[in-house]
Structure 1
Amino acid sequence: MPGKKCVAWLLFLWFSPSFAAPGADVPKQTVRTISSGDMLHWGIGLLIVLGIFFLCVWSMRKLSGITAYGAGKMRIIGSLSLGVRERVILLQIGKKQLVLGVTPGRIDALHVLEGDDCLSTSAGMQEASPSAGIDNGFAQKLMQAMKGRSDG
């Protein structure tokens, strides 16, 4: 019981200045209004931040166009969908061609083609017309290669 009395006295002493008489001198805080100058400063600050943001976005777009050395020598020649999320891709890197199996969680090199074993050459790719369908040619050559492997 004496502990409760001590707590009550401490609370009374702590909060007693807030219950002072209305005539007592209590410093009043002035409420500051928002002026047009404040709005102008906030607007300018916002425009500066947005300008920096858009400058960063623009510079990232420009820098992403820069390719690393040798990245221009790599290209996808064709692909074949094996299912909803599985694909076989023919990738040319320099004079080599890679047959890759691509799934959502993994990329496997199925076969490496070099020299005369390549399924298509860069000259043949340039001569092919857009209406010829590069993907269909790759699919046919891949099917022929798979049939040749299963026959032997």
Structure 2
Amino acid sequence: MLPLSLAAQETAQQARETAARAPDTLGTLLSLGVGLLAVVAIIYGCAWLIRRMNGMTGINNHAIRVVSVLAIGARERIALIEVGGQQILLGITPSGIRTLQVFETPVVDTNDAGGGDFARKLQAMIGKSWSAPERKD
């Protein structure tokens, strides 16, 4: 009987030593979970902050309006913008922007959104049915 009690004591002692050396899985999982939540919260916080900063730059979007832009070369463009009832023709290059002409009276009617021939044809096509005609057999 004595050898069985010694074996039981040795087994219990080995179990205690193993438990002391084994990592605390609950603590480890809890630590990992808190760390993950902190990283996700930081990402959402940064996204919110960036959204708020972008909103501040465009406080008055109706003061300046781009009426038309035309590419002249690979990196050169001319743009017609409207500011305060005046239309301004700008030359845009990689090295700068120049005022080419300031028009006192509007050159292009900005209220006429679909004034071109292509726009009228496209609008007529959109109004039509795109399905094949029904067969009457």
- Please confirm whether the aligned pair reaches a TM-score higher than 0.5, indicating the same fold: yes
CA distance in structure 1 between the aligned counterparts of 2:80 and 2:53, rounded to whole angstroms: 28
Instruction: Report % sequence identity.
Output: 32
Correspondence 1:75 to 2:60: no
2:127 aligns to what?
none
Equivalence for 2:110: 125
TM-score relative to the length of structure 2: 0.56
Quickly say closer, same or farther: Cα 1:43–1:101, change in 2 above 3 A. Answer: same
Between the two structures, name the one with larger relative contact order (CA 8 Å, sep ≥ 6). Answer: 1
1:57 Cα deviation after fit: 0.6
Q: CA deviation at 1:63?
A: 4.7
Alignment of 1:42-121 (within 5 A): 42-66=32-56, 67-68=58-59, 70-114=60-104, 116=105, 118-120=106-108
The 3-state SS of whatever aligns with 2:110 is helix
**Unmatched 5+ residue regions in structure 2?**
1-20, 120-137
User: Distance in 2 between the 1:130 and 1:46 partners?
Assistant: 55
Larger mean CA deviation between 37-46 and 85-94 belongs to: 37-46
TM-score, structure 1 length as denominator? Answer: 0.52
Q: Distance in 2 between matches of 1:74 and 1:133?
A: 26
Give, in angstroms, the shift of residue 102 of structure 1: 1.0
Aligned residue identity for 2:51? R
